[in-house]
Chain A
Amino acid sequence: MNRVVLIAGILITVALVLVLSAGLGKDPQHIESPLIGKQAPDFALQAVGTHETIDLAKFRGKPLVVNFWATWCRPCYEEHPVLVSNAQMMQGQVQFLGVVFQDKEEKIQGFLNERGSAYPTLVDDAGKTAIAYGVGGVPETFFLNKDGKVVAKFEGPIDPDSLQQNIRKAMTQ
């Protein structure tokens, strides 16, 4: 019995199998956000339609939901009504903002005309805001507390329960 081979072999086997099985069930496309717990990057972007410049800092004092989306993203169509209805429901308590990047203004306007809008939709400049927030795909939704700190990030189309859950986090943390 060659001890060296046995021990080396067992080590390699155990390590490999453990590591690989830990990887199973995880989605390799998902990126954890390092921004959670940190101050949200400040920005001031133009709103679609009105071309009014809206500054993030203006919304301090209230929890904020920032939703990154685009008209070419299928799941965004599904989550839009959820966001709109919640925004109307929580008007005055929570502020919603939409940020669109890599898209054309006419398309965005068309989308909103068709599907309604209950909060400002801003156009990102060259995707810089998305980059600063570490957006990897759309849709992604960030939840900020009243001091402007990021408390949660949700990837993919958001459902009513998760939305409420995260808003509660933003209100209490």
Chain B
Amino acid sequence: MTWIFVLLLVTGVKVPDAEQIVGQPQGPVVSGPMLDQQTNEIAGLLRCPVCQGMSVADSPSEMAVNMKHQVRELIARGYTREQILRYFERSYGQFVLLKPKFQGVNTLVWILPILALGVGIFAIFSMMTKGGDGQPVDQPSVDEDPYLAEVRKLTGKQS
């Protein structure tokens, strides 16, 4: 692929670069299987804008493939996850982040389930300590099958 780079350099072609938007790479340069793994990881956090909800890592659409290549290239150059996510967020907005940022109103989506857990634990504690005074627990209701009631009486067992 290097010949393309050379050709582009020679012709003066340049595409909008991450540098314009997130500055210099702040992490180490990466290559090899580590590069593949990190590409999949970060591409998994990005939403393919033309598919219905799929991640860039999973989507076969051309747009997603292009984005994945861009992710790979940025990782290889040493950009960190935050920088790469910020780069895509700049063009597409928070829509493209599959993991909601913990910021502003989005914090609610992370906090609400935890709150619900708290409410639930509180509810359980209050139910468990409500406690009666040891009365028989299973009272057959009025419209129970008479045969069953009879048998119950005969066998002397509950339920």
Query: Which residues does A use to contact B, with CB under 8 Å?
Result: 31-35, 38, 41-46, 51, 53, 55, 101-102, 124-137
Query: Is A125 in contact with B93, judged by CB distance below 8 angstroms?
Result: no
Q: With A102-B63, A127-B62, A137-B50 known to touch, is A43 a contact of B14 (CB < 8 Å)? A: yes
Stretch at the interface among B15-23, B32-40, B135-143, B145-153: B15-23
A129 to chain B, nearest CB (A): 5
Give the chain A neighbours of B15 by CB distance below 8 A: 43-45, 124-126, 128-129, 132
Give the chain A neighbours of B70 by CB distance below 8 A: 126, 128, 131
B159 within 8 A of A: no
Give the chain A neighbours of B58 by CB distance below 8 A: none
A1 to chain B, nearest CB (A): 19
Q: Is the interface of A mostly helix, strand, loop or mixed?
A: loop
Interface band, chain B = 20 to 34
Complex Cα distance, B9 from A44, in Å, reads 11
A69 to chain B, nearest CB (A): 14
Query: Is A44 in contact with B66, judged by CB distance below 8 angstroms?
Result: no
A115 to chain B, nearest CB (A): 23
Partner of B66, one of A32, A46, A128: A128
Complex Cα distance, B17 from A43, in Å, reads 8
A41 to chain B, nearest CB (A): 3
6 pairs, A vs B, C-beta closer than 8 Å = A31-B93, A38-B90, A102-B63, A102-B66, A131-B88, A133-B91
Give the chain B neighbours of A137 by CB distance below 8 A: 49-50
Give the chain A neighbours of B11 by CB distance below 8 A: 46, 51, 53
